Chain A
């Protein structure tokens, strides 16, 4: 081998081995986020404003590539009707994908229930979505860490790593998780992570014509959402599970389950 050839191959070999080494530098997402420690995404739902039109549900499915006809959804709206005898009737036909087009309460295999106007004492709508809990039980139970909590508070699912055991689906006390019909991995709302990081609002909040949904940053005291959460009477769902949900509700009723 000529000296020049030897040098050349040595250079190539060194370059060849050093390249993968540099490309393998570990990127810790926490470090990346440490650059922005003033972020904690929260969500505000105003039940007084929701009319149950279901635009948010449709918009969410478009935005996040969930087939529209799928009978599961990242976000949905529930209808509550309380009658004079104190009974609570609730439903959410197909997650209110088409809104509430029927007067009758949908009761699945039992058949619809008609309620006369004069029997109704109270009726309202409650939108639901993943609570991006501070102590998420879904993260706790995932055997492979495919479900994890980002430092800005949003709970994410790694689609390429989820084994599809469904433990997180069972572990979430809010029933927000399901299996993606195409990718066959755990699926749930992630506050439109791809949008909020570009400074945009979530698809559902944009689609809501009545301003019933808003996203905010808890670490920013001037954020209007944060101001509302701090200064008004807001509630969270199912506090008893110790998950510390971060979706706040205005006008939450104790009948809401």
Chain B
């Protein structure tokens, strides 16, 4: 009878009998996905709060994307629980000395903030769509359904006079201002969950929450830029086909210009946060080597020996250094930015991997090691949920959600109506 963790753990030298890699790929996905949520929100707030006008287009995009990512932040946790049906117990018996429990509360608060901000941003659109449909003399059943949905979404607030819209606007600013610290807190808590495990020599650092926040913003911005580029490419393609028929949708040239402008601007913010994230991570490592407490012996052998490839080649080399150079070289093209963003995302994923899996790579005895073999073929529920298949499910879900959300909250609203 296999015990949890046995399927994917290989032990080497002196490891305690109960030690296995308990936190597997889903716990890598979990901070990765929450990081994307928080990062995407911060990017959208740069426009809403600090008024970086150049980011207007991508700001709305990232807000909707952040919302699509929200439910997915909980998905890996659910897939990881060995009693997933009891997940709601966290809300029913919050035990506040536990970081996971507090995380649940912060997460709910954050979800409310993003939800209401989204509502204020799109209220005008809801009202307009519902009214337009209502005024239509004959409606198909699909249109009827849409009308009902949008009427419901207005929540009874039909006033779209300039004064009312001005109020909406204020609310958005306030909400995103409040949202920034909550988003940081949200991800800080993900870091805190690890940083507070005193039994683990690699995780046990107060820097953990800060490192997590910085890399979260990095990954969120990178993902937004990347998705923005992809969506714009699709729009360009569609515009090319439709241009002949109608004159009031933006032309390919207009789109291209807007896209290059947005990408270049947001790449700059990406660079700033990358510098911050890498500095902090290196600082942590140097500090550990310098103070060299008892656990450093085993940490060193994990960092410089066993995980060298993952940490220095994949994470810092391909995931940080290469995209850094790509973004910094003059004359940034959209294509180069896309490549850089992909690498940045990979780098952040590797960072999560190295923290979560690397943190469990050594035994509590400080004398043995454990290796994690990611289950590839899902031949049981266990290998599905904690294997490659489960991780892919988590990775794909936000895009599916985004597709449907876009029908209700169209991200490229303005230019199309203009």
Contact = CB atoms under 8 A, between A and B. Distances in A.
A166 B23 contact: yes
Interface stretch (A5-13, A18-26, A68-76): A68-76
Nearest to B100: A143
Contacts of B23: 166, 170
A128 to B, nearest CB: 8
Contact of B13 (A95, A107, A182): A107
B17 A184 contact: no
A178 interface: yes
A167 B199 contact: no
B198 A137 contact: yes
Given A108-B11, A141-B98, A145-B95, A73 B18 contact: yes
B74 to A, nearest CB: 12
B245 to A, nearest CB: 55
A257 B22 contact: no
A165 B3 contact: no
Contacts, number: 158
Nearest to B78: A163
A126 to B, nearest CB: 12
A165 B97 contact: no
B400 interface: no
Interface residues of B, number: 53
A27 interface: no
A209 interface: no
Given A163-B90, A173-B199, A107 B12 contact: yes
A37 interface: no
Contact of B196 (A128, A141, A142, A178): A141
A193 interface: no
A247 to B, nearest CB: 15
Contacts of B100: 141, 143, 165, 167
Given A181-B3, A257-B367, A108 B101 contact: no
B17 A181 contact: no
Contact of A165 (B18, B80, B198): B80
B170 interface: no
Contacts of B99: 141
B18 A170 contact: no
B93 interface: yes
Contacts of B365: 90, 257
Contacts of A142: 95, 98
B199 A170 contact: yes
A175 B368 contact: no
Nearest to B95: A145
Given A163-B86, A164-B82, A109 B18 contact: no
Interface string A183-207: 0110000000000000000000000
Nearest to B194: A170
A251 to B, nearest CB: 19
Interface string A56-79: 000000000001011111001000
- Per DSSP, chain A at the interface is loop
Contact of B197 (A73, A163, A170): A170
A162 B3 contact: no
A161 interface: yes
Nearest to A139: B97
Given A143-B104, A166-B23, A92 B367 contact: no
A163 B80 CA distance: 10
A196 to B, nearest CB: 22
B396 interface: no
B5 to A, nearest CB: 7
Contacts of A244: none
A257 B14 CA distance: 10
Given A141-B100, A166-B23, A72 B13 contact: no
Contact of A181 (B4, B87, B200): B4
Interface string B143-186: 00000000000000000000000000000000000000000000
23 contacts: A69-B1, A71-B6, A73-B17, A108-B368, A141-B97, A141-B197, A143-B98, A144-B86, A144-B93, A163-B82, A163-B89, A165-B81, A166-B22, A166-B23, A166-B80, A167-B98, A167-B197, A175-B364, A176-B18, A178-B20, A182-B1, A185-B82, A257-B364
Given A72-B17, A173-B364, 19 more contacts: A73-B18, A92-B17, A108-B11, A109-B12, A141-B98, A143-B98, A144-B89, A144-B95, A161-B86, A164-B84, A165-B80, A166-B4, A167-B197, A175-B19, A178-B5, A179-B4, A184-B4, A184-B82, A257-B365
